[in-house]
Chain A
């Protein structure tokens, strides 16, 4: 009868395949990662049955926070050579007689801030060192008839990027007059088609009404 040999196993496991797999996953996630732009306020969007997806590029987002502050953000265009963000800021600077240095324009382009800053505070905002300092300037974009900076942002964004689509991201609890104000601004500047950002909520109308 042959002896049963107990195989002496080395405690060492070959980890090369695991490393291979991990590097692949890592590469995949690094390449596909699109970072969420940092939000100064959490916004709870209402639900709808719409299944249309948010576009990736050429979007201008107007956020309405629960405390009725209005924020604005725009993307930098499909290619990095387009530099929409600094261009728009420069236009805004000329409008409000503020000269931005190339350094400040670069900061504005890189930091994908959701802006709630008035143009008067913009320079100080861009030179802030950290997020908490920046927060102190986020008072919401003025959109009153005396100082309608939101309208200017909309105007110059559309001048710089003709293909821009307007997205409105409002909190469920925002009162209608604020929404109306934003819609009014858009209507004034001939934005007729716009999109409301919502969460998907399936609704089935089962009963057939006969």
Chain B
């Protein structure tokens, strides 16, 4: 742009009275267009944000029978304060006396992800093998059916853990998104978001050392 402006000045120096030139000075027009383009480029929302889909079950009424789940495969994950995660295996605890101790971990690669990965080996490998076959061209199918197939593998699986996610009152939205994200990274077949029970709140209070006796 600087060059053009200079030329403009040079031209302004020699005034030729009444000699029609076919050239029209387009510099102001170019200037204006530059400005407009810059404006539109900056205001346009280029990169669209991504979305993560989750499905919640229908709200429980008194008449609905809660789905039966196998206690041995169940994994309870409690989202605690300060980006900490607590977990215990087995059926959801019903009273303090029989409540297992909470294991504390965090959202790092070696934290909750490793824990879930260890328990979800079989399914994770199955999905990874399938994806590899698609990449190498051993199986040829469309993108949609790849996703559908992965879903089917997850559904048919009966080895991986069933994860119950229980965010406590002190957890944040980030923790909530992170843990659902972990589910898709590790390839957990069945997970659900549940309300934290009173017993679990007490367990969390004991684990964090904020229990009031």
Residues of A within 8 A of B (CB): 11-16, 18-19, 22-23, 25-26, 29-30, 32-36, 45-54, 64, 167, 169-180, 183, 186-188, 190, 192-200, 203, 205, 207-210
Contact = CB atoms under 8 A, between A and B. Distances in A.
Contacts of B34: 22
Contacts, number: 174
Given A36-B43, A176-B79, A192-B58, 7 more contacts: A15-B4, A49-B184, A54-B48, A179-B176, A190-B58, A193-B53, A199-B50
B125 A13 contact: no
Given A16-B26, A187-B59, A172 B173 contact: yes
Given A29-B37, A54-B49, A183 B56 contact: yes
A64 B177 CA distance: 14
Given A13-B7, A176-B167, A199 B49 contact: yes
Contacts of A208: 125, 128
B45 A45 contact: no
A188 B60 CA distance: 10
Interface string B38-57: 00110111001111111111
A205 B59 contact: no
Nearest to A188: B59
B78 to A, nearest CB: 11
Nearest to B34: A22
Nearest to B50: A200
B55 to A, nearest CB: 5
B63 interface: no
Given A34-B45, A176-B168, A15 B173 contact: no
Nearest to A13: B7
A6 B188 CA distance: 77
Contacts of A19: 26, 29-30, 33
Contacts of A199: 49-50
B40 A26 contact: yes
B28 to A, nearest CB: 11
